[in-house]
Homo-oligomer: A and B are copies of this chain.
Amino acid sequence: MQKAAADKSDPIAAQLAPVGRETVQDRVYLELRRALIGGLFEPSQVLTIRGLADALMTSTMPVREALGRLITEKALEALPNRSVRVPPITLERMDDLLRARILIEGEAIALAATRMTPRQIATIESMLGEWDEMRALKHKKDVDREVTLNQAFHFEIYRACGSAVLIPMIESLWLQSGPCIRVAIYAFSDAGEVDTAHYHRTIVKAIAAQDAKGARDALVADISRPFTFLRSKLESEAEKGQSA
């Protein structure tokens, strides 16, 4: 019955890696994904296969497959030239993304609000403290940590909604709005992280009370904030460009 672990190769090493070993392609894909959600790429930035292959210390093969996957998720865009780039930001696309996120993430959090266990609620409650820690040492903004913490908080909730269909869609939406979000957070200058903590606190309170509607409303307020901020920024830029 222990056939899976008992191979002709070293049984100890086999136990350390019991499941299928990770492929280079997946590593590249996850790396690019993380970079996109974190907003490490600029909107409209073009990516080349060989460039990424060199940067990731691999050949072109895993990169091109990863890029293809990201293009189908609309996380990247295939130009008619066959080059690929990070999709540019437009007002219409932003509103579109926000509406979809409100719809789907709102549904997910409403489901989660009625299903989260006390243990899961304790987990997201403990995450609130990390915002205070971050505000305590108020040196220059650690945008990476903000993004990571925000992501961990939200997906800890979404994972509890119990839908294997909704969660990948939410991941796709984050992937698509990642570059915009980063731009918004930078534009926020400071005063960003304290607000985030406040909204997250409201969300946790609603979930702890099993208040699905309250949780959905709090979430909408939370994810709308960077979008509305970015929207006003884009609008001012647009009219400036028009006058020029």
Residues of A whose CB lies within 8 Å of any CB of B are 19-20, 25, 29, 64-65, 68-69, 71-74, 80-82, 93, 96-97, 99-100, 103-104, 107, 163-166, 168-169, 172-173, 176
Contacts and interface: CB of A to CB of B under 8 A. Distances in A.
A68 B164 contact: no
Q: Tell me how many chains of this kind the complex includes.
A: 2
A166 B39 CA distance: 22
A163 B101 CA distance: 12
Nearest to A74: B168
Interface of A, helix, strand, loop or mixed by DSSP: helix
24 contacts: A20-B82, A29-B72, A68-B69, A69-B69, A69-B71, A72-B72, A72-B73, A73-B73, A74-B165, A74-B168, A93-B164, A93-B165, A96-B165, A97-B165, A99-B165, A100-B163, A100-B165, A100-B169, A103-B103, A103-B104, A103-B107, A104-B104, A165-B173, A169-B169
